[in-house]
Amino acid sequence: MTKAIVAEKTGGPEVLIWKDVEVKKPGKGEALIRQTAIGVNFIDIYERTGLYNTPTPFIPGREAAGVVEAVGPGVKNVKPGDRVAYVAAGPGAYTEARTMATDKLIKIPREVSDRLAASVIFKGLTAWVLVRRTHRVGPGDTVLIHAAAGGVGLILTQWAKHLGATVIGTVGTDEKAKLIKRRGAKHAIVYTREDFVARVAEITKGKKCDVVYDSVGAATFPGSLDCLRPCGLFVTFGNASGPVPAFPPLLLAQKGSLFMTRPMLYVYIADPKELATGARELWGVVRSGAVKIEAGQTYALKDAARAHQDLADRKTTGPSLLIP
């Protein structure tokens, strides 16, 4: 038995219950992990509220770091004592210990702490998909990043700057505006008092952006489309304010023959070779200092409901972690 957070039904943070759960012995190709730090992400909230149709009851969470305690038959890529991190295709991370397939485990470099690994692995691989696979950001690109002070936003801002792009970020406060400018954004737009569409047009002298990365959803659509130059790319990858509403495809033509995509991280890392490539490139920018991870918020695992509420209320900056 181990302790875990269980969502026994969909709803508000109050549906998250702290209780005992069974942990199975690792079978063929599996490892038992004693977890040391667990990442909190908006996808956890989407599943808890029922926005994503996840059958209940379930243990939320998609990313964590920890130590391998035991391995099943035939496992060669990890051994007991190895420090590992993972991004799972399904929920199950809000627990003190869990058993999972080893082909999804990523060894943590010596220079990277467990808490840093749990802070960066899901958000960092998401950023990798956005800047290296969805759109290969490079010198000369102008990119708009909504929620640039958030967990993914801060990594995305730094990585895009590292690749040579001019970064414009939207944030909700002056404090967050200062933060993203320290992390590589050339321009910060405080959306609570500025019209981000008008400001983007002003900043770019009417040329607008090559790509817009939008994790906010309903509140920023279709303004995001108005920030794109002809044939630009709209990347929607989150629903912090609610999902993007249905719209006729003709709207993309009317706005300038735009492209649109809704990437899913797990599709891009389903191939173990792609997962290894993403992890290698992520650890590379972290080790070099090109991507610095701000110390965020930590909560006891049993206080997951408060972590969810703070994230939903946008009271957080950078990553949030649950500590078993």
Whether the predicted pLDDT of 215 surpasses 80: yes
Distance between CA atoms of residues 215 and 237, nearest Å: 5
Would you state the pLDDT for residue 296?
A: 80
CA distance 216 to 97: 32
Write down the pLDDT at residue 112. Answer: 92
Q: 3.10.20.30, 3.30.70.260, 1.20.1630.10, 3.40.50.720: which CATH number matches 139-262?
A: 3.40.50.720
Bridge partners (DSSP) of residue 20 are 3
pLDDT score recorded for residue 29: 95
Cα torsion at 271, 274, 278, 283 (round to 10°)?
Answer: 90
Residue 287 corresponds to which tokens in the numbers above? 């080790």
Instruction: Specify the residue for token string 């209320």.
Output: 313
Q: What is the dihedral of CA 21, 45, 268, 231, to 10 degrees?
A: 180
Q: What is the pLDDT of residue 284?
A: 96
Per residue in 61-100, pLDDT (tens digit) is: 999 999 999 999 999 999 999 999 999 989 999 999 999 9
Residue 207's pLDDT band, with cuts at 50, 70 and 90, is very high
Please answer whether residues 173 and 197 qualify as being in contact, where contact means their C-beta atoms are separated by less than 8 angstroms: no
Exposure of 216 by Cβ count < 10 A (0-12 exposed, 13-18 middle, 19+ buried)? buried
Whole-prediction pTM? 0.88
Give the contacts of 189 (CB within 8 A, at least 6 positions apart): 168, 169, 170, 171, 177, 196, 199, 200
pLDDT for residue 150: 85
Q: pLDDT value at position 59?
A: 98
pLDDT over threshold 90, residue 319: no
Question: What is the rounded average pLDDT for all residues in the chain?
Answer: 95
Residue 184 pLDDT > 80: yes
Residue 294 has pLDDT above 80, yes or no: no
For residue 144, pLDDT over 90 is answered with: yes
Name the residue ranges covered by the structural domains of the chain: 2-121+270-323, 139-262
Say if residue 283's pLDDT is above 80. Answer: yes
The mean-pLDDT minimum among 29-43, 130-144, 309-323 falls in: 309-323
Alpha-carbon distance of 258 to 270, in angstroms, equals: 28
Question: In the predicted model, is pLDDT for residue 181 greater than 80?
Answer: yes
Quick one: pLDDT band at residue 323, thresholds 50, 70, 90? very high
- In the predicted model, what is the mean pLDDT of residues 16-33? 96
Q: Confidence class of residue 7 from pLDDT cuts 50, 70 and 90? A: very high
pLDDT value, residue 10: 97
Residue 317 in this model has a pLDDT that exceeds 80: no
Helix (H) or strand (E) holding 168: strand 166-171
At the fourth CATH level, the homologous superfamily of domain 2-121+270-323 is Medium-chain alcohol dehydrogenases, catalytic domain (3.90.180.10)
> Residue 115 contacts by C-beta under 8 Å, 6 or more apart in sequence?
36, 37, 65, 298, 321
- Cβ-based neighbour number of residue 70 at 10 Å: 15
